Structure 1
Amino acid sequence: MQQSALEGALESAAFLTEAELTAQLVGDARQIRVLTGDRPTGPLHLGHYLGSLRNRVRLQDAGADMFVLVADYQVITDRDASSSIADFALGLVADYLAVGLDPARSTVFAHSAVPAVNQLLLPLMSLISVPELERNPTTKAEAAASGRPALSALMLTYPVHQAADILFCRSDLVPVGKDQLPHLEVARTVARRFNTRYAPVFTEPRALISDAPSVLGSDGHKMSKSHSNTIPLQATADQTAALIKGFKTDTDRHIAFDPEHRPEVSNLLLITALCRGEDPVQVAEQIGAGGASALKRAATEAVNEHLAPIRARRLELAAERGYLSAILRRGAERATAEAEATLTRVREAMGMAY
């Protein structure tokens, strides 16, 4: 059978950009498999949406086989489980459905409900060394942000846990931000080492990098729940206006798209452009000498207009907790079947199928 353009791209690079994926999906009906997800530590925000959620919906609508993880076990890598974790988990499902993920076409499941995924962690941990994990820059950054005095064993092995999530369903693509690329490389490494040491069981996954891989928050740092600098998807229009009003810009009144030298201004231009479906350079030209106030006004209008239907849908879904829980239960059934099948293949490859 002739190889598709997308198949060739997946084999030739460690990651794809959003533009590359868009070009290769045109006319390509191949079913690719995607693993993606989030930790239930609070509401999803605009950075999540522009950086990953849009791509998830695009891949789903193109026919990809989507596995969407509510990574509840990974909450305790850097914090204690809280009484609100159930609310956060169901809130994630509401966010997913509101932005366009369809539980009939995407498998949405919770980590803790699929024991076979966590059992897969043990053989994968034997394939990577402690020094390799200690050198992981993303783990270092997350440990520092946690404020804890010592690195927990779970935090140290966090990349391997993510590898188990990615590899159990033999995913081809993982939509991530650039800061998560070191974690994905761990998954690729342990997959390659397992296939070499035992038998070819795992696919080496590729990253999908968004057009907005690192959206900045109100303080000029990456938009993050832990930094309290976000625009939550569920924020009201007035709340959004107040939040964007507090975003950093600079003293140059003439607005230009220059990510290297004017990152805060360029960030607001990119947000505006992505919400409008335009080019950030053109948006900058439209604003011209209007200054920061005109830029923030344009960003506020673009975000509120784009998110209005998503917010209305989420408000409806938030009241249907039973429906949201049922989606997680159905998703766990399919994820469990996949994980147990992969675990069986792993045990057979390792000579442990007694």
Structure 2
Amino acid sequence: MSVARMLTGDRPTGRLHLGHYVGSIANRVRLHQRYESFFIIADLHMLTTRNTREDIGRVAGNAREMVTDILAAGVDPARATFYLQSAIPEVGDLNTLFQNLVTVPRLERVPSLKDMARDAGKEEMPYGLLGYPVLQAADILCVKGQVVPVGKDNAAHVEVTREIARRFNHLYGEVFPVPETIAAETPTLVGTDGRAKMSKSLGNAIALSADSATVRRAVMGMYTDPNRIRADVPGTVEGNPVFAYHDIFNPDRAQVDDLKERYRAGRVGDVEVKEKLAVALDRFLDPIRERRARIEAEPGLVDQLIFEGTERTRHEVRQTLVEVRRAMGLTSAYTQVRRRAERHRKATATPA
């Protein structure tokens, strides 16, 4: 491969939000021009925590929304391959082979898995969730991904991928690249409630597709300094979600510095700070909204991108699986059986 490959993506559980943007999408927009880029719609990963028929029935719609959000954020469709994970059964074959290259204790040390189980209301760890990093390794290595943009939660998962790639290459010969991670500049974004990272399921998120009125309502309801009961009381900027958002999304540094100075001195109210944040977020989201409107004005475009990307990716994965089976010697076993069976059939055939 002359150009290095990047693999990234999301579970199709709904629209993407500002937390997704700072944690991964900003990196993708920046990097996809440099790498041959595959974007996975990870619906099999979704099944580890959401697997009712209703959840599965929403996959197609959520996939469209997710891809639309990514394109609206600035990813060029001509330089990105979007594909639906469940439409490529060969990934499951690779996952099965990789399961034998990692131990249960190693997977139990991945810190985010217990958090995922807890957030999904699971009292016990499902087998599929424990194997989440192994399936993720299959996703990355099936297209021979060399770089993976990651948020804070997925860094440990990709380390399992790196270990599996090294283990496979040691046992069977060089087939896979050992992928490198590219961390986001802002690993996580606190939610509007100030108590947890931004998450759709917690109701503390601002969607990339949110209109101006929705953004303003969310911002005006944001958590600030709980000890500040009046505007003339000096407030704390550090750890204050409103100022964390200003730092990320407000490019007017002079305005932000002025607000911080007055906030610390008790010379500005929360309302003014929030109103200026709402304006800054609108300015940030306006280009995304405009691109989204152009995409939505062409019905079927996103479906076509997903379909064509899935077909292309399946072709790539089939080639990878042939290499894997050949390197492991799995093809020779059946070839031997087939050849002996053919010789037996010919030897015992009744002459015409």
> What is the TM-score with the length of structure 1 in the denominator?
0.84
Offset of residue 208 of structure 1: 1.4
Q: Choose the corresponding residue for 1:275, options 249, 265, 269.
A: 249
d(CA) in 2 for partners of 1:351 and 1:292?
66
1:223 aligns with 2:194: no
How has the CA–CA distance of structure 1 residues 205 and 196 changed in structure 2, closer, same or farther, with 3 Å as cutoff? same
**Structure 1 residue matching 2:329: 3-state secondary structure:** coil
d(CA) in 2 for partners of 1:79 and 1:223?
19
Moved more, 285-294 or 43-52: 285-294
Partner in structure 2 of residue 19 of structure 1: none
Offset of residue 321 of structure 1: 4.3
How has the CA–CA distance of structure 1 residues 229 and 43 changed in structure 2, closer, same or farther, with 3 Å as cutoff? same
How many pairs are equivalent?
317
Offset of residue 232 of structure 1: 0.6
d(CA) in 2 for partners of 1:108 and 1:206?
21
How has the CA–CA distance of structure 1 residues 229 and 346 changed in structure 2, closer, same or farther, with 3 Å as cutoff? same
1:115 aligns with 2:89: yes
d(CA) in 2 for partners of 1:341 and 1:230?
40
d(CA) in 2 for partners of 1:270 and 1:204?
35
Partner in structure 2 of residue 171 of structure 1: 145
d(CA) in 2 for partners of 1:177 and 1:160?
18
Partner in structure 1 of residue 305 of structure 2: 327
Listed as ranges, the matches of 1:1-354 within 5 Å are 31-61=3-33, 63-80=34-51, 81-220=55-194, 221-250=196-225, 251=227, 262-263=238-239, 265=240, 267-277=241-251, 283-289=256-262, 290-318=268-296, 320-354=298-332
**Structure 2 residue matching 1:226: 3-state secondary structure:** coil
d(CA) in 2 for partners of 1:124 and 1:101?
31
Offset of residue 47 of structure 1: 0.8
Question: Unpaired runs of 5+ in structure 2?
Answer: 263-267, 333-352
Q: CA RMSD in A?
A: 2.1
Computing the radius of gyration from Cα coordinates, the structure with the larger value is: 2
d(CA) in 2 for partners of 1:293 and 1:203?
52
d(CA) in 2 for partners of 1:319 and 1:150?
45
Question: In 2, are the aligned partners of 1:275 and 1:302 still within 8 Å (CA)?
Answer: yes
Question: In 1, are the aligned partners of 2:44 and 2:85 still within 8 Å (CA)?
Answer: yes
**Structure 2 residue matching 1:104: 3-state secondary structure:** helix
Letter in 2 for 1:324: V
How has the CA–CA distance of structure 1 residues 272 and 149 changed in structure 2, closer, same or farther, with 3 Å as cutoff? same
> What is the TM-score with the length of structure 2 in the denominator?
0.84
d(CA) in 2 for partners of 1:176 and 1:254?
37
Letter in 2 for 1:99: A
**Structure 2 residue matching 1:109: 3-state secondary structure:** strand
Offset of residue 149 of structure 1: 3.1
d(CA) in 1 for partners of 2:161 and 2:124?
25
d(CA) in 1 for partners of 2:293 and 2:56?
23
d(CA) in 1 for partners of 2:96 and 2:258?
55
Question: Unpaired runs of 5+ in structure 1?
Answer: 1-29
Question: In 1, are the aligned partners of 2:191 and 2:199 still within 8 Å (CA)?
Answer: yes
Letter in 2 for 1:114: I
Offset of residue 316 of structure 1: 4.0
Moved more, 310-319 or 210-219: 310-319
**Structure 2 residue matching 1:154: 3-state secondary structure:** helix
d(CA) in 2 for partners of 1:130 and 1:147?
22
Letter in 1 for 2:287: P
**Structure 1 residue matching 2:280: 3-state secondary structure:** helix
Offset of residue 77 of structure 1: 0.5
**Structure 1 residue matching 2:38: 3-state secondary structure:** strand
d(CA) in 2 for partners of 1:51 and 1:328?
23
Question: In 2, are the aligned partners of 1:256 and 1:285 still within 8 Å (CA)?
Answer: no
What do residues 105-157 of structure 1 show as CA deviations (whole Å, max 9, x unaligned)? Answer: 11111101222222110111100111221222111110111112332211111
d(CA) in 1 for partners of 2:203 and 2:298?
27
Letter in 2 for 1:58: R
d(CA) in 1 for partners of 2:317 and 2:252?
41
Moved more, 81-90 or 103-112: 81-90
d(CA) in 2 for partners of 1:162 and 1:282?
43
Question: In 2, are the aligned partners of 1:35 and 1:67 still within 8 Å (CA)?
Answer: yes
Question: In 1, are the aligned partners of 2:259 and 2:273 still within 8 Å (CA)?
Answer: no
**Structure 2 residue matching 1:232: 3-state secondary structure:** coil
Question: In 1, are the aligned partners of 2:250 and 2:256 still within 8 Å (CA)?
Answer: no
Question: Percent of counterpart pairs with the same letter?
Answer: 39
